[in-house]
Amino acid sequence: MNYCDLAPSYVRSIAPYQPGKPISELERELGITGIVKLASNENPLGASAASVAAMHEAIKTIALYPDGNGFELKDALVKRYGVTHASVTLGNGSNDLLELSARAFLAPGDKVVYSAHAFAVYALATQAVGASGISVPAAQGYGHDLPAMLAAAKDNKAKMVFIANPNNPTGTFLSADALRKFMRGLPAEILVVLDEAYNEYLPEDKRYDSVSWLKEYPNLIISRTFSKAYGLAGLRVGYALAHEQVTDMLNRVRQPFNVNSVAQAAAVAAFRDVSFVKKTFELNQRGMVQITEGLTRLGLEYIPSFGNFVAFRIGGATAMYRRLLELGVIVRPIANYDMPDWLRVSIGLESENAKFLAALEKAMGQQVHGEKK
Ligand SMILES: *Cc1c(COP(=O)(O)O)cnc(C)c1O
């Protein structure tokens, strides 16, 4: 017998998530070192020294179960955001929160709206619980088409809408006004998961206070992560802010110890290290200019990005991705996002960005050369 057949059809039809290629894997394959990974939007500065110190300290009590309630981390969040403890949910990465939202509120047959080219986990989390996803075509420029998403949610009596702001892999941004207009138009029984994984990368003039909207919109779930600007992707910590009743449901489907003790300690320290986040932001701003200027110089189109990565259009994207690998640079193909002619590159250190641009130029030269043959 085929054991896959034992799984429900909606599980069998899930297309597995395609992660960025790990450095160690490419090292094994090619036998080269000095590889630059710009494939998973990680923080090129690593983790802050304060969070590393907190991890060392936390290891001393690793034999004990973590605080299943995550009091200290929640307390740090509560104090900064002015919300109650009962409106915070901690997750094993914010990925966990996207899944908890789906698991807590969706049943087989429920409809879920998200945008084309939106973060892949929305479709995965939806399918895993047997709900059906409605992918709304993007607006011009690959961004979310909020009016069309609003209509789709209402017309289909959707239970949930996923919105990424900024979105990954496109880097597109929705203004506070556009988001508020969307929330105002949406029936209160439709939940909105607003995924703000890249919130900390927004320039000053684009920042908005979504947390204050929670009072007005009890159907809003805001998710954020320590994986990107805080440099803790390997630890897996994220959080959701939502109405207390919504939070209650998220916590009922949560594993009791979903965030480990080292991760909790590191996240508290990272959250308090405001200067590290600022440094990360500034490095990213400079790197974004460096990379987009480089892409322009090479005659490549890119989508203006508000995250720590940028998608660019390039002929023969799959072949180009492989050539870049051979040159020791890992980027991310995004054909699985319905963007087969595009690659996504994360913003790295200045030297890493330079290595990427040099490799790209070389790979493009090889392509032209190859076509002549
Ligand atoms: C990276 C990312 C996340 C979450 O990552 P975690 O490591 O699970 O916190 C969530 N949403 C988007 C859009 C992302 O790009």
Percent of the chain with pLDDT over 90: 94
Helix (H) or strand (E) holding 369: helix 350-372
Cα–Cα distance for residue pair 263/52, rounded to 1 Å: 10
Q: Are 287 and 177 in contact (CB under 8 A)?
A: no
The ranges assigned to domains in the chain are 3-46+275-372, 50-273
Place of tokens 């002015």: 82
Check pocket membership of 233 for ligand 1, CB cut-off 6 A.
yes
Kindly report whether the global pTM for this prediction surpasses the value 0.85: yes
Check pocket membership of 164 for ligand 1, CB cut-off 6 A.
yes
Check pocket membership of 309 for ligand 1, CB cut-off 6 A.
no
pLDDT > 50? residue 372: no
* Surface-to-core class of residue 336, CB atoms within 10 Å of its CB (0-12 exposed, 13-18 middle, 19+ buried): middle
Q: Are 93 and 227 in contact (CB under 8 A)?
A: yes
Q: Which residues contact 185 (CB under 8 A, 6 or more apart)?
A: 150
- Nearest-CA residue for ligand 1 atom 14 is 197
Check pocket membership of 307 for ligand 1, CB cut-off 6 A.
no
The number of the ligand 1 atom at minimal distance from the alpha carbon of 164 is 13
- Residue range 33-75, pLDDT digits in tens: 899 999 999 999 999 999 999 999 999 999 999 999 999 999 9
DSSP-assigned letters across all residues of 273-328: -HHHHHHHHHHHHHHHHHHHHHHHHTT--B---SSSEEEEE-TTHHHHHHHHHHTT
Percent of the chain with pLDDT over 70: 98
Instruction: For residue 232, report the distance from its CA to the centre of ligand 1, in Å.
Output: 11
The number of the ligand 1 atom at minimal distance from the alpha carbon of 41 is 1
- Residue range 95-139, pLDDT digits in tens: 999 999 999 999 999 999 999 999 999 999 999 999 999 999 999
Cα–Cα distance for residue pair 373/368, rounded to 1 Å: 9
Q: Token digits for 307?
A: 């995250």
Which residue among 94, 98, 196 has the greatest number of ligand 1 atoms within 8 angstroms of its CB, and so is best to mutate? 94
In this structure, whether the domain defined by 50-273 belongs to CATH 1.10.260.40 is answered with no
pLDDT > 90? residue 222: yes
Average pLDDT along the chain: 96
- Nearest-CA residue for ligand 1 atom 10 is 197
Query: For residue 370, what pLDDT is reported?
Result: 58
pLDDT > 90? residue 20: no
Query: For residue 371, what pLDDT is reported?
Result: 53
Phi, psi of 253 (to 5 degrees): -100, 0
Check pocket membership of 197 for ligand 1, CB cut-off 6 A.
yes
CATH architecture, domain defined by 3-46+275-372: Alpha-Beta Complex (3.90)
Q: Residue 328 region, left (φ>0) first, then alpha (ψ -120 to 50), else beta? A: left
Check pocket membership of 196 for ligand 1, CB cut-off 6 A.
no
Instruction: For residue 156, report the distance from its CA to the centre of ligand 1, in Å.
Output: 27
Cα–Cα distance for residue pair 53/151, rounded to 1 Å: 49
Q: Which residues contact 365 (CB under 8 A, 6 or more apart)?
A: none
Check pocket membership of 99 for ligand 1, CB cut-off 6 A.
no
Check pocket membership of 305 for ligand 1, CB cut-off 6 A.
no
The number of the ligand 1 atom at minimal distance from the alpha carbon of 195 is 11
Q: Are 14 and 122 in contact (CB under 8 A)?
A: no
Cα–Cα distance for residue pair 128/154, rounded to 1 Å: 23
Q: Which residues contact 212 (CB under 8 A, 6 or more apart)?
A: none
Q: Average of pLDDT values for 219-247?
A: 98
Query: For residue 369, what pLDDT is reported?
Result: 65
